[in-house]
């Protein structure tokens, strides 16, 4: 929803950057079928659906998605396709459960070249 500007145009204002809002970290083109992931330098990561974020007009102060602790900063932002989580099911008695298969670990003596 940006107007086309001619050469010498001054551009279109996207957001009001103030002391209250802080700096603009990044801009992504997203659809309602995607999720947004925000990662902080402290290691905190949040994931939220784009459809859950309210729309704001241009030249506004934006929408707060995460509140940072003093000294923390945003390390990365990205979008991913929204994926439905598969329900976890327990196998019926007698059915195979591939997650519970045990892997045999060889003894040190079996792989040693000293015994040859």
Look at residue 46 and give its three-state secondary structure. Answer: strand
Residue 116's pLDDT is what? Answer: 47
The answer to whether the pTM exceeds 0.75 is no
Q: Is residue 91 part of a domain?
A: no
Q: Is residue 99 part of a domain?
A: no
Q: Is residue 74 part of a domain?
A: yes
Q: Is residue 49 part of a domain?
A: yes
| Structural domain range at position 32 | 12-83
Instruction: Determine how β-strand 45-49 pairs with β-strand 74-81.
Output: unpaired
Residue scoring higher pLDDT (72 or 96): 72
In the chain, how many domains are there? 1
Q: CA 20, CA 24: separation in Å to the nearest integer?
A: 12
Q: CA 15, CA 29: separation in Å to the nearest integer?
A: 15
């Amino acid at each position: 929803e940006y107007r086309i500007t001619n050469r010498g145009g001054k551009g279109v204002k996207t957001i009001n950057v103030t002391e209250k809002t802080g700096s603009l970290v990044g801009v992504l083109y997203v659809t309602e079928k995607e999720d947004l992931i925000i990662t902080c330098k402290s290691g905190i990561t949040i994931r939220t659906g784009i459809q859950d974020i309210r729309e704001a007009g241009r030249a506004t102060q934006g929408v707060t998605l995460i509140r940072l602790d003093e000294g923390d900063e945003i390390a990365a932002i990205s979008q991913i396709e929204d994926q439905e989580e598969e329900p976890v099911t327990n196998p019926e008695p007698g059915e195979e459960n591939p997650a519970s298969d045990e892997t045999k670990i060889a003894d040190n003596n079996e792989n040693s070249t000293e015994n040859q």
